[in-house]
Structure 1
């Protein structure tokens, strides 16, 4: 890249960033801010008509069939949030997890893992498991910083374990198979949950004075009897994920199965009424509309930046450094940690993919693997101040200060950094299962 090209690219990036931070700082919605930045870029640096380009791009992005699964998975999570699922999960999991080092603290991790498999939302996972576990763990005398910290970290599993809303958004952004991305998230999600549980076990051994009294034993038959409460949610997980794994349904069709299953589960539990049905539908509509607006703005911004040549110039500039894929991933990890301090996960993904996509393709990095990597670093953003969304949710639930919750969640942040290292060292964790599914379907 010549000096003139670098100066022109720097000017364009400067204008984009100035307009972006000005609009976001003014309180404009993220989706509208993205459209505003794209519009200014089209006017300032291209001869094209921004109005017609915006109309075509917004419509094509909003009418994507793949995107249909997004509101359905959100609705499924909202329905389950209003059921007795959290109460039943605690009763079913507690007898088994009480035997582990760290005792019932593991219900935070396992409960979040189970609910993540039928939700896809970090916030829904946090609220559902939190309303179950926080009162019970406090009553049993577990340290508050462990209750809050493990819940904050474990709730981020809702972003990775399928069905994941972030993976849907990423898949739409890079035109990658949603089903393959879902399959790729299974093993890394379980590994991350295992790391969280190891942290709890380590705390139990290192600080025995903080352990509460052991739970009274109810015997194998009693534990087995309580486990029957988990059957409905296990059936729902098999219905949603199993249908995709077996090739019976696409991600969109599986999301429809999930909604029907969630409605049936709520009905069987006596939680489905006209009020809860309408409340779940309206909450899903609000969340879906917010994400759809962000995706529309991101699509227009991607088009605008493509016309200005910024992504190609940046990709060429970074390529000139001749970074190895590992060095590029290290740089992107730091980049997403910083940007995640100010943007929510989905916004961070759609805002950056216009620039990052050409880079990772040029570096030969697998898009499926990169999708799991980006989910892990976005998970970090959920528990980093000042805009960590899980921190806000927990602050509302526990009334602790933001600083206290962030400090309690910091060990979980470090575990996620370790997970990035593990993914780089063992990329097959993300790519093996999708390749097996593709081979089985051929």
Structure 2
């Protein structure tokens, strides 16, 4: 009970600041400052300056702005149009037809983007007009795009996994490896849903695609070569042990610039736009991380994380019960905070619990990402829902309803991960990577 007062004060200040519209990073710093001032004898200002600087000057964090910049460069190329040309001939004959281009397109772009919003915008601007033109059901077009775009959070390079790795001081390359198979399995589950739904939906009657010979399909596949080459360079260099995550991100930026130049999309204007877009996103995430690191220090001084971990340990929950409690906790939290904020805000409390329960931290990173993906499509703060609303003009309620099946598939994916943990741990356990992130 002695921990109750600090908890209530922390929560009251946090929600007061967030509710007043203060940026998340500044809100976290404000809560931490109040906690340090009230519950410790250490000067709060000195502690804040020291902790914010040490967390912001992490070398591992360098990969983050580089991967963001790579995604921004590719977002401004003709990559999405080329992907549709390359994918549509192969998808047209599958049950569900060209709706699969949403899922496969998001899976491919996620492997060079790392951002859910960039994946959604890039694939959406390509697929929505084309699928509408062919009379595909709007709910399926919107729903699959909302769900599949979240693969940008799991399939490497994932910004959320970078943030998680930096927060708990774990290898980012290993986390990237852990995300590969779960990301592909989740994509296949989305595709299976489309295939089944296309057979049972009464209004599924799209305009059929003209028949193409096998050689014509192969010829169209040339449009996919640039992005596949970039994926092989970025991801392959990490998995083969040639490069750390930061070095691979540098290769990605150079590759993105070369690709944009080859397509004729690289002008001084697009270069500056991509650079400033990367700066804005990186600054936002860096501020959240700095605030969260100071909050972790503040909470550590008050003894809150250990106290809460001991409290939960006293309930004698099994590993499965603990994961179910965290699943519900993160789903509720995701209704009010974006994914990265949820991760950095809670790790100080959750990490001791996970270590105490003997849960693999690499595996838990993938578990967290799947649950955080749900937050992208849950109202009222689901970021993907806002992006789709801006792109389509639909009511938020319509988009949220269309995304419900994808949300439920992600819940199933959580249980798949719990039942088969090797899905996430086999690759990092069996492939050696270069030290240094």
Residue aligning to 1:221: 215
Matched, 1:340 2:334: yes
SS at match of 1:190: helix
Indicate conservation of the 8 Å contact 1:298/1:350, yes or no.
yes
SS at match of 2:349: helix
Residue aligning to 1:241: 235
Q: Please list the CA deviations of residues 88-107 of structure 1 after superposition, one character each: whole Å capped at 9, or x if unmatched.
A: 00000000011110000000
Query: What is the Cα deviation at residue 440 of structure 1?
Result: 10
User: Of residues 184, 189, 196 in structure 2, which corresponds to 1:195?
Assistant: 189
Distance of 1:235 and 1:71 partners within structure 2: 21
Residue aligning to 2:347: 353
Residue aligning to 1:328: 322
Residue aligning to 1:313: 307
Query: What is the Cα deviation at residue 109 of structure 1?
Result: 0.1
The aligned length equals 435
Residue aligning to 2:418: 424
Distance of 2:251 and 2:184 partners within structure 1: 23
Q: Please list the CA deviations of residues 377-402 of structure 1 after superposition, one character each: whole Å capped at 9, or x if unmatched.
A: 00000000000000000000000000
Query: What is the Cα deviation at residue 208 of structure 1?
Result: 5.5
TM superposition score normalised by structure 1: 0.97
Indicate conservation of the 8 Å contact 2:243/2:434, yes or no.
no
Residue aligning to 1:3: none
Matched, 1:302 2:296: yes
Matched, 1:128 2:89: no
Q: Note the residue ranges of structure 1 that are not aligned, 5 or more in a row.
A: 1-5
SS at match of 2:257: helix
Residue aligning to 2:250: 256
Residue aligning to 1:36: 30
Query: What is the Cα deviation at residue 207 of structure 1?
Result: 2.2
Residue aligning to 1:93: 87
Distance of 1:317 and 1:209 partners within structure 2: 52
Residue aligning to 2:280: 286
1:387–1:280 Cα change, 3 Å: same
Indicate conservation of the 8 Å contact 2:32/2:294, yes or no.
yes
User: Of residues 361, 374, 377 in structure 2, which corresponds to 1:380?
Assistant: 374
Query: What is the Cα deviation at residue 439 of structure 1?
Result: 8.6
Distance of 1:69 and 1:295 partners within structure 2: 14
Query: What is the Cα deviation at residue 209 of structure 1?
Result: 4.6
User: Of residues 266, 271, 294 in structure 2, which corresponds to 1:272?
Assistant: 266
Indicate conservation of the 8 Å contact 1:102/1:211, yes or no.
no
Distance of 1:217 and 1:72 partners within structure 2: 42
Residue aligning to 1:109: 103
SS at match of 2:112: coil
Indicate conservation of the 8 Å contact 2:106/2:148, yes or no.
yes
Residue aligning to 2:148: 154
Q: Note the residue ranges of structure 2 that are not aligned, 5 or more in a row.
A: none
Q: Please list the CA deviations of residues 161-209 of structure 1 after superposition, one character each: whole Å capped at 9, or x if unmatched.
A: 0000000000000000000000000000000000000000001111265
CA RMSD of aligned residues (A): 1.0
SS at match of 1:48: coil
Query: What is the Cα deviation at residue 438 of structure 1?
Result: 2.8
Query: What is the Cα deviation at residue 236 of structure 1?
Result: 0.2
Distance of 2:90 and 2:408 partners within structure 1: 27
Matched, 1:435 2:424: no
